Amino acid sequence: VRTPGAGLKLRVEVPPHHVRSYEVVVRAGALDDLVSRVMLAAPADRYALIAPDDIVSLHAERVLGMLRRGGLDAELLPFPAGEKHKTRETWAALTDRMLELRFGRDTAVVALGGGVAGDLAGFVAATYMRGIAVVQVPTTLLAMIDAALGGKTGLDTGAGKNLVGAFHPPRLVIADPLLLGTLPPVELRSGLAEAVKHGAIMDAGYFEWIGAHAPAILGLDPAALEQLVARSVQLKAAVVMEDPYEHGRRVVLNFGHTIAHALELQDDYRLPHGHAVAMGMVAEAAAGEAYGVTEPGTRERLVETLRRCELPAAPVVGSWDALASTMRLDKKARRARPRLTLLERIGACARDPGGRWTFEVPENMLAAAVRLAAQDGPAV
């Protein structure tokens, strides 16, 4: 097929990797069927249950017991809880522990916990022996409606959040709202901020529903929680399916997050993620109004709903210069100019004339908007 001396030009076809699809189950009590669901969606020789150490007695021992009683060969691998441990070091330690325990390629990871567990255990699965299966079992509201869904995994570095990672879709997501009954109030509110975001960027009716049902949600009403998780999962799944690898519309999910990430980094991750997102949304709504693409009054509606959810509604800004410098490294920055997702109004995101879902807001305008939003003062 080739002439000696003329070289060779050859095209290598790359068939799809990954699963073609996965199921997300949202139901109070869904965890009871964990074993049969895991056996069907992620059959494996052995299972590595990865969970933060602060939920070992609360959830992890129960899940480990379920897996083992179901006849599965499972080991629990705890890691130190907290965003500050979502690092390359923790990833390396978990990987080394799995190697020590002689987990082979035919292993599935069960990621149990909040967003940190999902991102971290997901990245362990994405990279262990070039990729093994992962089942996501989120235990926080934030993880149920956000991190567990969509296949993003990642680690933080000194330079910012999620700067290292991979797309590694799970084989299965089980979201059981009954687990939220033991969630600390600050974490429930943190998740609620992402739900408010889902409403703000794509469903005005849902946005209103959250505002109206905030007392039931904060009071841990099971029906309200199940509805909340189910609605947010539907909305997020629709975006993820339209744009699984964040080449286009998926970036709308970053509404509020450019400023939120910078606030979190500046605060060394002590700020709860949902609080940062709440502040970020208000600031970015102010920026959108200043830039002229966001309907006037949008920021006020956001502030009102966030207050009903007992979330902070105004960004606490230390030094604007430091914040701006942090933002410049955001993954969405192209050539070091940050680009923001902006609302058109509550329930819809704006697109620029070129059809893109992000905008390059001039830095002085952004600085002014953040300062304006900050004047409302913290709500909680």
Catalytic residues: 130, 152, 194, 236, 246, 250, 254, 257, 261, 273
Amino acid at 150: G
Q: Which residues is 138 bridged to in the sheet?
A: 113
Phi, psi angles (nearest 5°) of residue 294 = -100, 135
**Smallest distance, Å, CB 54 to its own copies?**
26
Size of interface with its own copies, in residues (CB under 8 A)? 83
Among 23, 32, 304, 352, binds its own copies (CB under 8 A): 23
Q: Which of residues 332-351 bind its own copies (CB under 8 A)?
A: 332-336
**Smallest distance, Å, CB 18 to its own copies?**
5
Query: In Å, how far from its chain's centre is CA 213?
Result: 23
**Smallest distance, Å, CB 44 to its own copies?**
11
Q: Is 77 helix (H, G, I), strand (E, B) or coil?
A: strand
Among 58, 105, 219, 304, binds its own copies (CB under 8 A): 105
Closest residue by Cα to residue 175 from 111, 253, 238, 251: 111
Say if residues 75 and 109 touch (Cβ distance below 8 Å).
Answer: no
CA distance to 35, 57, 78, 289, 319, per residue, from 64 (Å): 10, 11, 12, 50, 46
Closest to its own copies by CB, 2 vs 69, is 2
Among 58, 157, 184, 380, binds its own copies (CB under 8 A): 157
Please give the helix or strand (H or E) that residue 84 lies within, else none. Answer: none
Span near its own copies by CB under 8 A; candidates 120-128, 189-197, 284-292, 345-353: 120-128
Does 152 interact with its own copies (rule: CB under 8 A)?
yes
Strands (E), 254-351: 343-345, 348-349
**Smallest distance, Å, CB 271 to its own copies?**
22
Closest to its own copies by CB, 19 vs 81, is 19
**Tokens 């149920």, residue located:** 144
Does 45 interact with its own copies (rule: CB under 8 A)?
yes
Does 354 interact with its own copies (rule: CB under 8 A)?
no
Q: Which of residues 195-224 bind its own copies (CB under 8 A)?
A: 223
- Whole-angstrom distance, CA of residue 84 vs CA of residue 222: 31
Q: Which of residues 292-331 bind its own copies (CB under 8 A)?
A: 328-329, 331
**Per-residue x/- track, 55-94, its own copies (CB under 8 A):** ---------------------------------x---x--
Say if residues 263 and 282 touch (Cβ distance below 8 Å).
Answer: no
Does 165 interact with its own copies (rule: CB under 8 A)?
yes
- CB-facing half-sphere around the CA of 108: CA atoms within 13 A: 23
Amino acid at 292: G
Q: Taken in order 66, 70, 71, 72, is the CA torsion positive or negative?
A: negative
**Smallest distance, Å, CB 121 to its own copies?**
15
CA distance to 17, 100, 124, 230, 259, per residue, from 130 (Å): 12, 17, 10, 33, 34
Closest to its own copies by CB, 5 vs 377, is 5
**Per-residue x/- track, 166-195, its own copies (CB under 8 A):** xx-x--------------------------
Q: Which of residues 230-249 bind its own copies (CB under 8 A)?
A: 230, 233-234, 237, 240-241, 244-246
Does 30 interact with its own copies (rule: CB under 8 A)?
yes
Span near its own copies by CB under 8 A; candidates 4-12, 187-195, 283-291, 367-375: 4-12
Greatest alpha-carbon pair distance for the chain in Å reads 77
Closest to its own copies by CB, 227 vs 294, is 227
Tokens found for residue 358: 């992000």
